[in-house]
Chain A
Amino acid sequence: MENNALTFSNVSAGYKHRKVLDQVSFTIRAGEFVSLIGPNGCGKSTLLKTAAALLKPLSGVVELFGHDVHLLKPAHRASLLGVVPQKIDSPMAFTVSQIVMNGRISSMGRWGSMSSRDHDLVERSMIYTDVMGLRERFFTELSGGEQQRVALAMVLAQDPEMIMLDESISHLDINHRQEVLKILMNLNREKRMTILLVSHDLTLSASISDRFLLMNSGRLIKVGTPAEVLEPELLSSVYDCDLRVQQDPYSGYLHVSGAIDSLNRQKKLNRNVHVIAGGGSGIELYRRLLIEGYEVTTGVLNRLDSDAEAARALNIEVVLEQPFSPVGADAIAKALQMINSSDSVILSSVPFGSGNLVNLDLAREALKRGKTVLLADGIVDRDYTGGKAAIQIVSNLMRDGALCWHSISELMLQLQQHSHN
């Protein structure tokens, strides 16, 4: 048994006027589960096409289980390597079982007859991918996830030693993606099938792959275990954005995510904003203010309020009060301290009742101390104090120089103007 499934030796490949792959060399051992990652347009699909002999390399050699892939007979190649494309589409109304039978095309008799082994392979791959129940349905009528499983069944019916998937799972919803991945992992573990998966979901790939191949502009940048390849500095330079890699404390899996907060730190504005919110009305405000680079504080909030949860998650300094109790003097003092050190105070479109009316007093206090106060409009609909107390306070605030905002983007503009003044 040949130990190497796929070997590229100094392969350059591409199209007539454009070289896409530049001196690529790597080896995938039989039975490995490898993910091929890299930004869009870096040559991943070209690499797959070259591996499947659809493209002839300009130089270098591609070997599939020890054979030069371009010298292999097509039927022999199909028995070694199957390719699941991003999407297959059938213009004519073939049924699912007819589509899957295409996987046996290279071993069919002259008149398209199938041996009982062919039938067995078709049936087994349909059971494996759980599409048996769909066999009489028209392929075109199926959902994207079902189509992708049928495509996988068709390729499995080839009974290949290795399969390559070209972003075949990226557009599936999370449920179907897990399902297809489970099938792939079973194939890899149980049947020792070699798998090369082109993927954009680095976290997902990290959890299932033995090794990563990282490509960038036609070159292989790094080959190694997920932990070796998923280096924040390396990834950030390849993908040209800030990325963060964290290890899940429970599963040990690596999580790759865009690091929004590191973005903030870069363009810090040194402007402090205090937000008075509640009931979820502050979440979007917090997010936008952080992205724009403001230092944000907030309060007074009820400990169980969803805004309090959001503030904690976003690392925003927050003044809290026990639920179902009036706002105490301590909390008010702390909030006033925050307001003192802030440049502007923003009131979200939070409804006011007797319990949080004290927050409007905080705004009045801010105005007195010369802070810019920005109020969300529409207080008329949010006054639940019974005696129009909130409306009264707000109109007083407006008279004393508080500003009114309608949308968050408008608010951002107002804040910018005031920070220039």
Chain B
Amino acid sequence: MGKKDAEFCADNSFTGNRGIKSGLKVLIFFGATILLLALSMLLGPSGIGIPDMQSSSGSAIFSLRFSRLLMGMMTGAALSASGVVFQALLRNPLAEPYVLGVSGGAGLGATLSILAGSGLFVSLGLPVVAFLSAVLTLMVVYGIASQGSSGHPSVYSLILSGVIVSSICSSVIMFLVSTASVEGMHNVIWWMLGSLQPVSSAQQVLSAALILGGLGSIWLLSPRLNALALGREMAHYQGLHADLVLVAGLLFATLLAATAVSLSGMIGFVGLIVPHVMRAVFGPDNRKLVPLAALGGGTFLVVCDALARTLLAPIEIPVGVVTALAGGPFFLIILQRRMKQAWIA
């Protein structure tokens, strides 16, 4: 190597981690996150502001708000990070956490459990059933997609069988709901709308462990997800166990989504839109995107929940309604401006 070459290579400014600008963006994002989370602690049906911590009701309100914040962070982070992975692996802008039938499967399991339990469902029972049926659905979807493709399901067959299994599940749910009692119907629909009512602490701990584990695994996979964005063949040529990464990614992302569903029911929108917005702002590099989207999704859901319980207090709006109504227009504006940096299809 000549002298000139050596000088050139001593400085990696071209491909190195450049960017005061991107660093500043991340910093602003962190600041806004903390601010929004703090703000959401001040909102609730009992009034705006810090509750009186001396009184027992005040501290109960505070701890309730805090556990809803935790619920929101966990659910939002899981859904959003899962969305990032699905979009990267399936190379499809419409991919979202429920694309492989998690929602259909979990919904069907939950519906069966609610209707069978007819009101007396145990707090740990429903989420566990929802989780197990989501995982079962994933296995069915993967099994169908693998048929006739020598064990390597194509992205299209995965999406297709996910959509089909999902719609079969929702048909069965509709049938069950239409034949159910009024009370059963009400419970099922409320569960499907999603809510961040705190679940039992045992389940919270279990879910937190699953979600942290899932997020960590996905973060570890994230550099490989970048390579898979150019397709499975290219990733193989570049020295990846491409199929292994694909299967592991799908598995972890589905587990995250299933855990979120079992915690909070079916909250839509977060897993589709937050990844898009974060990608538009911070670029498509999954190494950065996975943690930022997790944080962004959690914060977004927490803020939406704070609004949901405050706006029409004492009536609580389903949080899924708020995510769509509040987030939709805002995200459309961002996407329209910055779609080019997020996704060119």
Contact = CB atoms under 8 A, between A and B. Distances in A.
Given A94-B285, A112-B287, 15 more contacts: A52-B237, A74-B241, A75-B239, A78-B237, A79-B239, A82-B237, A88-B234, A91-B344, A92-B343, A93-B344, A100-B15, A105-B223, A105-B239, A126-B15, A135-B14
Interface in A113-144: 114, 116, 119-120, 122-124, 126-127, 132, 135, 138, 140-141
Interface string A46-64: 0001001110000000000
B3 interface: no
A52 to B, nearest CB: 6
B230 A124 contact: no
A83 interface: yes
Given A88-B234, A110-B220, A119-B12, A74 B227 contact: no
Contacts, number: 130
B238 A93 contact: no
B337 interface: no
B65 interface: no
A124 B4 CA distance: 12
Nearest to A158: B238
Interface string B145-158: 00010100000000
* Residue of A88, A92, A99 contacting most chain B CB atoms (<10 Å): A92
Nearest to B149: A16
B176 interface: no
Pairs of residues from A and B, 3 with the lowest C-beta to C-beta distance, nearest first:
A78-B239, A106-B239, A112-B223
B142 interface: no
A103 B238 CA distance: 6
A102 B14 CA distance: 15
A169 to B, nearest CB: 17
B344 A138 contact: yes
A108 interface: yes
A266 to B, nearest CB: 44
16 contacts: A52-B236, A54-B236, A88-B230, A91-B92, A92-B344, A93-B342, A93-B343, A94-B285, A102-B226, A106-B240, A112-B287, A116-B12, A119-B9, A120-B9, A124-B9, A158-B238
A250 interface: no
Contact of A112 (B87, B222, B238, B345): B222
A91 B229 contact: yes
B315 to A, nearest CB: 41
B203 interface: no
Contact of B220 (A85, A94, A111, A135): A111
B150 to A, nearest CB: 6
Nearest to A127: B8
A95 B285 CA distance: 9
A101 interface: yes
Interface of B: 5, 8-9, 12, 14-16, 87-88, 91-93, 148, 150, 219-220, 222-224, 226-227, 229-231, 233-241, 279, 283-285, 287, 340-345
Interface in A140-187: 140-141, 154-155, 158
Nearest to B223: A112
Contact of A83 (B5, B150, B237): B237
Nearest to B345: A91
A241 to B, nearest CB: 32
Contacts of B284: 92-94, 98
B12 A99 contact: no
A85 B230 CA distance: 11
B226 A105 contact: yes
Contact of B93 (A91, A120, A154): A91
B252 to A, nearest CB: 16
A123 B226 contact: no
Contacts of A70: none
A135 B334 CA distance: 25
A30 to B, nearest CB: 20
A2 B342 CA distance: 45
A90 B343 CA distance: 9
A44 interface: no
A7 interface: no
Given A102-B238, A106-B238, A135-B14, A90 B229 contact: yes
B189 to A, nearest CB: 36
Nearest to A83: B237
Contacts of B148: 16
